[in-house]
Each structure stands twice: as C-alpha cells, then as structure tokens.
Amino acid sequence: MTGKTADVVIVGAGPSALTASLYLSRDGFRVVVLEKAAVGGQISTTEKIANFPGFPGGIGGRELAENLRAQVEGFGADIELAEVTEIKPLADGFTVVTDDGEVTAQAVLVATGSKPRLMDIPGEKEFMGRGVSTCATCDGAFYKGKKVAVVGGANSAVQETLQLATMAEHIDLVVRNELTANQTLLDGLDELVQSGKVTLHQGATPVEVTGDTNVTGLKIQRQGHDAPETLDVDGVFVFIGRVPSTDFMHGLEIDESGFIITDDGFMTSTPGVFASGDVRSGSAKQAVIASGEGAEAALNIRKLLKRY
C-alpha cells in the first residue's frame, strides 16, 4: 500500500464511513477506506438491527455490513485492512500513516466509531476472553446453560441481557445507579425478573472479577453495605458505554469524554479533516444517524475539493 494516493482517505469502515465512501466514490472521487478490524464496525457484531430503514423484518448486522461493502466497492472505493497510526499534515493535504504503508490525500474523514468502556477493576483485563466479554453476540453461545453477570443499565446492557437470556441459565444484572433503558426494553426485562431468569442488583458497583483459569465470580459493593459480596457466575458481560477510537489522532479539539468536536459541516479543528458517526461529539450513536452524518460529511468534503 506504500505510495498510494487518493482524493479522500476515510478512516474506519462502519455505517458512517461506508456511506461517506459511497457518496464520494459515486461522485468520481478516488476513495481509500482504512479499517483495522472488520468492515461494518460495531454493526458487524450485532445480531439483528430492527430500526434501520428499508428492512421491515430487520436485518443482521453482518449482512448489512456486507451489503454496504458491496455497494461501496461497486462504485470503485478501495477498502484496505490496515491500522492508522498517524495523520500528518502536508502543504496541500495529508499523509495517513498505517501499519502497512502510507496514503496521501487532500482530505481525511475520521469515522472510527467507539469501543467498549471497561470497568477498570482487578481481574477484568486478566480474564478478558476467559470469561469477561463486551459482546453477547460474539460470546453468548459459550454460556448456554451457565450463569452470567451483565454490568450496565442503559439500552445496550438491557438489550444484551434479553439476548443472553435465550442462552444462559441465569443472569445477574448489576446496575450502579438507575436503569436508563427505553421502556420497551424495560418491559422485556421486567418479564425476565418476574420469571426469576434475571436478578436485578441496583445500587451495586463491581469491584473485582474473580476466578482461576476462567471466571468464577464477580464481587460487587452494594450502596450502604460495609463488605462486598460475590456473585457466583461463569462469565461477566460489560456494557457501560463506549469511548471514542481516537488513539492515532493528535491536536484535534475534543470534548470532556474524548469525542471529536466538529462544526456544523463536520469539519474538525484541523481544516481538511472531518469527523462523523459515533466518534463525533454530539452524535446520537445510532447506525442510521451515523450513516446520515457520513452522507453530509461527504457533501461537505465535495465542496472543499471544489466539486459541486
């Protein structure tokens, strides 16, 4: 890939990135998409997406990702598997440095999305992949007939709890403060609590993941209690929010959580560098909205490059 040139480099390959590359490549721009993991981003690990327009019966995340990929490549965009390590400004454009070479371009769109936020407690990193997971779709089947804990109280945590309930024997749902999921998800959760399938632990904070070769328990500290207690579980699924994937970015204006700040045209504080989707401050963290932001960012990149 060394020495490759493009009009636009798009970093990431989720819905926002792929939609932007669709718009730009269809308009005749030379587009290189750089993705370090799987094309589709977060949606590729989502079992079913029911709120993406055009699919009344829902669509599997991996299928949607492959459809987007085929559409983008059909218009000539070049998708490369490579990890971006730096973006260097030039007199007229940028050099995007990766672990597999460099690409020069006139404009860059950062659409790297976000990654799971971790609890940062003893045992979490040690047992990652050996009982600690951040993806029920990926790992839920390993816990068929077993006991698991889910940590979190927003939409993703409750949604993954509902999914895990089809496989696991029992689920302990650990919520630091209050449940904030939407009412439809809460109704489904209430049915599981009433049936005894799920035990809800509100006002409880995880303090340690325990185990030997694999996870055997999760220690939690309840509000108002002196000593922690241990939940006997075979796995711990963590869904406590996400952090932006911006390790390679330097010098851009970010908000207090690390998400990239842009203007109304999705331009960052560095002229010629745009951001869209889940990595952007203020984004609603929904696939369809990320796609819309990618489309609008592409239109503004087109204006920047003087093609209307």
Angle at 261 between CA 97 and CA 254, to 5 degrees: 75
Q: Where are the beta strands (DSSP E) in 190-271?
A: 198-202, 204-211, 215-222, 229-232, 235-238, 242-244
Radius of gyration of the chain (CA): 21
- Contacts of 143 by beta carbon, 8 Å cutoff, 6+ apart: 164, 167, 168, 234, 235
* Cα angle value 205/211/212 (rounded, 5°): 165
Q: Is 135 a catalytic residue?
A: yes
Which CA distances in Å does 9 have to 25, 57, 83, 84, 242? Answer: 11, 34, 13, 11, 24
- Kindly state the helix (H) or strand (E) to which residue 19 belongs, with its residue range: helix 15-26
Beta pairing, strands 170-175 & 198-202: parallel
Quote the CA–CA distance of 149 and 234 in Å, as a whole number.
Answer: 8
- Annotated active-site residue in 7, 78, 139, 234: 139
Instruction: Write down the catalytic residue from 138, 247, 255, 263.
Output: 138
* 27 carries an active-site annotation: no
Among 27, 78, 92, 135, the active-site one is 135
Hey, which residues are catalytic here? 135, 138-139
